[in-house]
């Protein structure tokens, strides 16, 4: 992996990008991610990816400029759902750590999609090559996530 990256840098093919919400260390897969989370994240990724390809098919060559408002709406909806869960009456009895983690991963995944789209056309492809997607199993950077979203 590192050798490939060095060759890309030398050849000028390397794309640098911000990835604020994922842990960057190698082998940073999320051991707390359940199969149910993986399925839900896969569905969320498909929604975002379909949105991107709809924009491309409709002649939008700058999909990365048109996608962020739609990704922002998806992020806001996920954040609203997480906030409702965290503030629900049953929350007073104690929150289920798995459900909190589920909401955190979904919100972080949408935030990551937005962040990648705002950086340019090929950033998402590069991130996929790097296995950098939260929805691909990468751990959430909890420190950054809590700074931005508070849970």
Short-list 119, 136, 143, 131, CA closest to 64: 119
In tens, the pLDDT along 82-92 reads 999 988 877 65
117 has a pLDDT exceeding 70: yes
| Domain parsing of the chain, residue ranges | 2-149
Q: Which pTM was predicted?
A: 0.86
In tens, the pLDDT along 34-55 reads 999 999 999 999 999 999 888 8
Give the DSSP letter string of 4-42: HHHHHHHHT-------TTB--STT-B-TT--HHHHHHHH
In tens, the pLDDT along 137-151 reads 999 999 999 999 999
């Amino acid at each position: 992996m590192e050798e490939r990256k060095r060759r890309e840098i030398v050849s000028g093919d390397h794309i640098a990008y911000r990835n604020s919400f994922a842990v960057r260390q190698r082998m940073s897969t999320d051991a707390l991610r359940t199969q149910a989370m993986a399925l839900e994240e896969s569905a969320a990724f498909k929604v975002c990816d379909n949105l991107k390809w709809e924009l491309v098919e409709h002649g939008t060559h700058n999909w990365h400029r048109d996608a962020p408002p739609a990704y922002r709406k998806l992020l806001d909806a996920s954040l609203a759902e997480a906030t409702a869960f965290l503030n629900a009456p049953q929350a007073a009895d104690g929150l289920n750590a798995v459900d909190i983690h589920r909401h955190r991963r979904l919100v972080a995944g949408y935030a990551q999609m937005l962040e990648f789209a705002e950086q340019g056309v090929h950033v998402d492809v590069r991130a996929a090559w790097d296995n950098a997607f939260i929805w691909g199993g990468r751990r959430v950077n909890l420190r950054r996530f809590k700074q931005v979203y508070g849970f």
